[in-house]
């Protein structure tokens, strides 16, 4: 009997909720769109927070290297010592001799000055590598390739030139646009404003490969040339030695063995390097966490205010239903069912429009800050939006309906 009575009461509550929604279609549509807007704001802010944190990880994943060997700088405040590995080509050759390593190569980083005129130089970042590859995603040109092979032990300290000899550079698209240069033209490059006019490099490609990796405009220069510009060719300095493992080998296991063989260096597999880089950038974590937190708080505030307003607008109807003998639980249940239905439809609408807005905002971010996928929408983002919409919407509607029914009196009837 109780089960039947409960079923009849539930059907009555659902029927009342449906009639209330149909009675005011304009209000229902506006409420649905308001929920969709709240869900959309949550998913977009959350996807931006996720994208901020994962940008560095995506850059490392696209590097196609399995192991990263690094060391703490000798003096972080001194120019050039951000490349703390000495004799990098020798170390690379030793690592490459292992059967579980297919190749290894050093990579250096340095701040440089670039411009088309000695009087118009801008500071930017540069990465020194032996060669570019198809993964660069060139917008123009084909990149460069040097004669030395780090894996074969070529380019050791006593063979390295002290002046640039390749003199080619791959520019970030923003840098190329800022200086109005294209493939085939030349720019001045140096690690100081005074030395830059002495070195003229030919632009052989335009790509944002390392810009995505580092999060700022970054140019690619042959490693030997960058070392010569920075005065570190004699000691053969590098920031990292990157390695790829042989087919069938476990990168984590190989990294652990290398860490034992080279205790003077920090050896990390690719996923560990991601964590290390993020730990060194607490602002990235704080920014991403803040954005996700704002998404949650904003969604809760919007939802609470929205359904409080819905209950307030139905105060006359609630007073009339209370006057004919319906209990507060029935009235609260009526508002809760309305909240569930509105949250379901609005939530689905918000989730359906999220990819469209995310794509549009990514196009804007690509042109403004250089990131194509700054907003990332993994399944967890959609789950967050849908959960916030349905669960929170229904609970808030129930609470506001209960409070609204409490104050529903005959004197409220017009």
Please give the pLDDT value at position 81. 43
Q: In sequence order, what DSSP letters do the residues of 262-323 get, joined into one string?
A: -TTSEEEEHHHHHHHHHHT-HHHHHHHHHHHHHHHHHHHHHHHHHHHHHHHHTHHHHHHHHH
Query: Is 216 or 165 the better-scoring residue by pLDDT?
Result: 165
- DSSP-assigned letter for residue 147: S
Q: Is 15 helix (H, G, I), strand (E, B) or coil?
A: helix
Average pLDDT over residues 286-303: 66
Q: Which residues have CB under 8 Å from 46's CB, separation 6+?
A: 291, 292, 295, 381, 384, 385
Instruction: Give which of 385, 301, 293, 394 is closest to 343, Cα–Cα.
Output: 394
Distance from C-alpha of 343 to C-alpha of 338, rounded to nearest angstrom:
8
Q: What is the largest CA-CA distance in the chain?
A: 98
Distance from C-alpha of 394 to C-alpha of 193, rounded to nearest angstrom:
63
Distance from C-alpha of 373 to C-alpha of 371, rounded to nearest angstrom:
6
Model confidence pLDDT, tens digit, residues 39-82 = 887 888 778 777 766 655 555 555 567 888 988 654 434 444 46
Average pLDDT over residues 139-151: 74
Distance from C-alpha of 66 to C-alpha of 277, rounded to nearest angstrom:
15
Query: Is 367 or 174 the better-scoring residue by pLDDT?
Result: 174
Distance from C-alpha of 271 to C-alpha of 224, rounded to nearest angstrom:
28
What percent of the chain shows pLDDT beyond 90? Answer: 21
Q: Which residues have CB under 8 Å from 68's CB, separation 6+?
A: 240, 241, 242, 267, 268, 269, 270, 273
* pLDDT higher than threshold 80 for residue 303: no
Place of tokens 């009526």: 334
Q: Write the CA distances from 194 to 167, 181, 199, integer angstroms.
A: 18, 22, 11
* pLDDT higher than threshold 80 for residue 214: no
What's the residue count for the chain? 414
Please give the pLDDT value at position 273. 67
Instruction: Give which of 393, 386, 380 is closest to 47, Cα–Cα.
Output: 380
Token pair recorded at residue 141: 């040109």
Model confidence pLDDT, tens digit, residues 232-283 = 888 898 988 989 889 888 988 998 999 999 999 988 887 676 555 555 554 5
Place of tokens 């190989």: 254
Q: Hey, which of 83-87, 136-140, 199-203, 361-365 has the most confident mean pLDDT?
A: 199-203
Query: Is 214 or 340 the better-scoring residue by pLDDT?
Result: 340
Model confidence pLDDT, tens digit, residues 346-358 = 889 989 998 988 8
Domain map (residue ranges) of the chain: 1-58+283-412, 73-263
Please give the pLDDT value at position 247. 87
Token pair recorded at residue 10: 């539930």
Q: Which residues have CB under 8 Å from 364's CB, separation 6+?
A: none
Distance from C-alpha of 118 to C-alpha of 126, rounded to nearest angstrom:
18
Query: Is 205 or 73 the better-scoring residue by pLDDT?
Result: 205
Model confidence pLDDT, tens digit, residues 363-413 = 776 665 556 677 788 888 888 888 877 887 777 777 776 666 565 555 554
* pLDDT higher than threshold 70 for residue 97: yes
* pLDDT higher than threshold 60 for residue 175: yes
Least confident of 87-91, 247-251, 266-270, 320-324: 320-324
Average pLDDT, the chain: 76
């Amino acid at each position: 009997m109780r089960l039947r009575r409960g079923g009849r009461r539930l059907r009555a509550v659902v029927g009342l909720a449906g009639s209330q929604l149909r009675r005011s279609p304009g209000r229902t549509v506006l409420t649905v769109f308001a929920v969709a807007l709240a869900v959309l704001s949550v998913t977009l802010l959350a996807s931006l927070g996720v994208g901020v944190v994962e940008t560095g990880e995506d850059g490392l994943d696209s590097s196609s290297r399995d192991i990263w060997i690094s060391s703490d700088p000798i003096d972080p405040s001194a120019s050039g010592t951000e490349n703390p590995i000495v004799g990098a080509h020798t170390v690379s050759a030793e690592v490459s001799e292992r059967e579980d390593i297919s190749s290894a190569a050093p990579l250096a980083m340095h701040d440089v000055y670039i411009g088309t005129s000695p009087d118009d130089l801008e500071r930017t970042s540069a990465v020194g590598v032996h060669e570019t590859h198809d993964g660069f995603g060139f917008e123009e040109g084909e990149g460069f390739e040097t004669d030395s092979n780090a894996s074969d032990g070529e380019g050791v300290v006593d063979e390295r030139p002290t002046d640039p000899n390749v003199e080619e550079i791959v520019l970030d698209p923003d840098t190329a646009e800022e200086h109005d240069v294209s493939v085939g033209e030349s720019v001045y490059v140096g690690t100081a404003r005074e030395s830059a006019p002495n070195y003229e490099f030919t632009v052989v490609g335009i790509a944002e490969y390392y810009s995505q990796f580092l999060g700022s405009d970054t140019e690619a220069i042959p490693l030997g040339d960058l070392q010569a510009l920075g005065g570190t060719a004699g000691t053969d300095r590098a920031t990292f030695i990157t390695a790829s493992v042989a087919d069938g080998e476990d990168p984590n296991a190989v990294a652990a063995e290398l860490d034992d063989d080279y205790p003077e260096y920090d050896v990390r597999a690719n996923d560990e390097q991601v964590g290390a880089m993020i730990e060194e950038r607490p602002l990235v974590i704080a920014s991403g966490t803040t954005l996700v937190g704002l998404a949650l708080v904003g969604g809760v505030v919007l939802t609470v205010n929205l359904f409080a307003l819905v209950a307030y607008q139905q105060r006359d109807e609630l007073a009339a239903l209370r006057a004919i003998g319906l209990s507060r639980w029935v009235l609260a249940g009526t508002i809760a069912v309305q909240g569930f239905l509105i949250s379901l439809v609005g939530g689905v609408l918000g989730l359906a429009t999220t990819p469209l807005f995310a794509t549009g905002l990514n196009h804007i971010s690509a042109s403004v800050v250089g990131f194509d996928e700054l907003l990332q929408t993994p399944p967890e983002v959609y789950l967050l939006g849908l959960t916030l919409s349905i669960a929170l919407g229904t609970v808030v509607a129930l609470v506001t309906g209960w409070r609204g029914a409490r104050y529903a009196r005959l004197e409220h009837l017009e």
